[in-house]
Amino acid sequence: MNKELDMYERIGFRLSECRKNNRLSQSELSSAINIPQTTYANYELSKRKIPLNLLEKIANYYKLPIGYFLESNMPEIV
């Protein structure tokens, strides 16, 4: 598997993890960041590559460093 694919799968997993830990639906989060729910779902499923500026917006929403989504060895946020 190539590294880029691994990175986007990791980002998708972390997006899903944060959303669920904050007890938000995809619809609620996508509304908060002004994107369609289907677009957000595709980011979680790694079907689309998330733009860095949008990832930064999501990180700010959760009050997390953007590195949380990008680094492979970041600890889990509970």
Q: What total number of domains does the chain contain?
A: 1
pTM: 0.84
Question: pLDDT by residue (tens digit) across 59-69?
Answer: 999 999 999 99
Give a yes or no: residue 75 inside a domain: no
Q: Is residue 26, in this structure, part of any structural domain at all?
A: yes
57 found inside a domain = yes
Q: What is the pLDDT of residue 3?
A: 60
d(CA 30, CA 35): 5
Q: Has residue 16 been placed in a domain?
A: yes
What is the domain-level CATH number for residue 40? 1.10.260.40
What is the chain's alpha carbon radius of gyration, rounded to the nearest angstrom?
A: 12
pLDDT value at position 77? 53
Q: Is residue 27 part of a domain?
A: yes
Residue with the bigger pLDDT between 48 and 76: it is 48
Please enumerate in sequence order all residues whose Cβ is within 8 A of that of 61, keeping only pairs 6 or more positions apart, or say none. 29, 32, 33
